[in-house]
C-alpha cells in the first residue's frame, strides 16, 4: 500500500479546555520494532483523553501531544519482526501507554496492543470497545470476581463502561442493579438490568439493600457512600476514585481503584460476544475528526449515553 508522508492529527500545544485541540498536518510515523502502521478508520473519546488534554497527567506528558488511546483500522505497514499481522488486516486495540496518540489518520502501534477485528464488526464499534470494554470486563470478572446469582450495583450505568458492564453482568448470570438518569433507564432494562434507579430522584444507596459488588464510574461522594451497601466479603471497584481503605478494612470489604490494561485474550472474548449478538455497543455520537473539540465538550457535559467516536477518514 502507498502511504503518504503526512497525515492529519488532533493535537494540543498547550493544556486546557477543548479549545486547545487543533487538527493539523504532521509526519506519518514509521513503525518501529514490534510495531505495525495502522490506517485509522475510527477512534473513541475516553476519560484519559480528557485528562491528557487538561493537564498532561499533571505534566507527565509535555506538549505538543496527539491524543487518543484506542483505535480501529487497517494495517498498511509491518515491522520486520512482526509475524502476527500482515498488510490489509483489520485490527483494533488500545495503546498500553499514552506517550503517542491515535487521533490521527495513521498510527504506529505495538502489535501486542492489537487483535484482529472480526468480520461483521464495523470500525466504529471496533474503536468504541477496547478501553471501555476491557475496563468493564476487568472490573467485573478479573477484579470484581462476579459470580452467578450475585447482586451487582453499577453507578453511571448508561456510560461507555457502564452499559457494557450491565451486559457482562447479565451474561454472567448476576442480578444487575443500574443507576443513571431517568431517560436512560429503559435502555438499561433492554440491556439486561434487573433493577434501575434514577439517581436524581432516589437515594440509590438506601434503595438497593445489600449487594455483593459495586462498580463505580461516577466518583465523588458516591465512591465511599457505596461501601455501606457491601457486607463482609463485598467488593467495590472504582474506575475514577480511590476508595477509603480504612472504612473498607473495618467492614471486611475489598475496595480497588482499577487501572485497566490491554489484554488480547480479554478483548478477543469481548469480540466473540459482539459477534454472537450477546453484546451491543451503543454509539452516542459519530463525528469527523475536525469536530474533536466538540466531541470533548460533549464528553465533559455527561449528557451523551454510550460512546463518542471520531472518524479520521473524511
pLDDT digits (tens, 9 = 90+) for 178-213: 999 999 999 999 999 999 999 999 999 999 999 999
Confidence at 60, pLDDT banded by 50, 70, 90 = confident
| pLDDT above 80 for 220 | yes
Give the distance, in angstroms, between the CA of residue 238 and the centroid of all CA atoms in the same chain.
14
Using alpha carbons, select from 44, 114, 118, 42 the residue that is nearest to residue 274. Answer: 118
| pLDDT above 90 for 302 | no
Residues 69 and 60: beta-carbon distance below 8 Å:
no
Q: Which helix (H) or strand (E) holds 311?
A: strand 307-311
pLDDT digits (tens, 9 = 90+) for 151-178: 999 999 999 999 999 999 999 999 999 9
pLDDT digits (tens, 9 = 90+) for 244-261: 888 899 999 999 999 999
Domains of the chain: 6-117+282-311 (3.90.180.10), 131-257 (3.40.50.720)
Count, residues in the chain? 314
Residues 6+ apart with CB under 8 A from 52: 12, 61, 65, 67, 98
Which grid cell is 96? 498500553
pTM of the model: 0.95
Q: Which residues pair with 44 in a beta bridge?
A: 309
| pLDDT above 90 for 99 | no
Average pLDDT for residues 208-233, to the nearest whole number?
95
| pLDDT above 90 for 84 | yes
User: Residue 280 in 3-state DSSP?
Assistant: coil
Strands of the sheet containing 254-257, edge to edge, are 195-198, 175-180, 151-155, 211-216, 230-238, 254-257
Separation in Å, CA 186 to CA 70, 124, 206: 29, 24, 22
Give me the pLDDT at residue 305, please: 80
Give me the pLDDT at residue 151, please: 98
Separation of alpha carbons 249 and 255, rounded Å: 9
| pLDDT above 80 for 303 | no
Mean pLDDT estimate for the chain:
95
| Percent share of the chain, pLDDT over 90 | 91
Residues 6+ apart with CB under 8 A from 304: 284, 285, 298
pLDDT digits (tens, 9 = 90+) for 113-146: 999 999 999 999 999 999 999 999 999 999 999 9
Residues 6+ apart with CB under 8 A from 250: none
Say which residue the cell 495502522 belongs to.
38
Separation of alpha carbons 275 and 126, rounded Å: 12
| pLDDT above 90 for 61 | no
Average pLDDT for residues 220-228, to the nearest whole number?
95
Q: Which residues pair with 66 in a beta bridge?
A: 11
Amino acid at each position: 500500500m502507498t502511504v503518504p508522508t503526512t497525515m492529519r492529527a488532533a493535537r494540543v500545544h498547550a493544556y486546557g479546555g477543548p479549545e486547545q485541540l487543533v487538527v493539523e498536518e504532521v509526519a506519518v510515523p514509521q513503525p518501529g520494532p514490534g510495531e505495525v502502521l495502522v490506517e485509522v478508520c475510527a477512534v473513541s473519546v475516553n476519560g484519559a483523553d480528557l485528562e491528557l488534554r487538561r493537564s498532561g497527567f499533571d505534566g507527565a506528558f509535555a506538549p505538543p501531544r496527539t491524543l487518543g488511546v484506542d483505535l480501529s483500522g487497517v494495517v498498511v505497514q509491518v515491522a520486520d519482526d512482526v509475524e502476527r499481522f500482515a498488510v490489509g488486516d483489520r485490527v483494533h486495540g488500545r495503546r498500553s501507554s499514552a506517550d503517542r496518540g491515535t487521533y490521527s489518520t495513521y498510527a504506529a502501534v505495538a502489535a501486542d496492543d492489537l487483535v484482529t477485528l472480526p468480520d461483521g464488526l464495523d470500525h466504529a464499534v471496533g474503536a468504541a470497545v477496547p478501553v471501555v470494554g476491557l475496563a468493564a470486563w476487568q472490573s467485573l470478572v478479573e477484579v470484581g470476581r462476579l459470580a452467578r446469582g450475585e447482586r451487582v450495583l453499577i453507578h453511571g450505568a448508561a456510560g461507555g463502561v457502564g452499559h457494557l458492564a450491565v451486559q457482562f453482568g447479565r451474561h454472567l448470570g448476576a442480578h444487575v442493579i443500574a443507576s443513571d438518569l431517568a431517560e436512560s433507564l429503559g435502555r438499561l432494562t433492554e440491556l439486561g438490568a434487573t433493577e434501575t434507579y434514577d439517581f436524581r430522584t432516589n437515594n440509590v444507596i438506601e434503595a438497593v439493600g445489600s449487594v455483593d459488588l459495586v462498580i463505580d464510574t461516577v466518583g465523588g461522594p458516591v465512591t465511599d457512600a457505596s461501601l455501606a451497601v457491601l457486607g463482609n466479603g463485598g467488593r467495590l471497584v472504582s474506575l475514577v476514585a480511590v476508595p477509603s481503605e480504612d472504612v473498607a478494612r473495618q467492614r471486611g470489604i475489598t475496595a480497588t481503584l482499577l487501572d485497566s490494561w490491554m489484554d488480547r485474550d480479554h478483548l478477543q472474548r469481548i469480540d466473540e460476544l459482539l459477534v454472537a449478538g450477546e453484546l451491543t455497543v451503543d454509539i452516542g455520537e459519530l463525528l469527523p475528526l475536525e469536530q474533536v473539540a466538540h466531541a470533548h465538550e460533549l464528553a465533559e457535559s455527561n449528557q451523551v449515553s454510550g460512546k463518542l467516536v471520531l472518524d479520521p477518514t473524511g
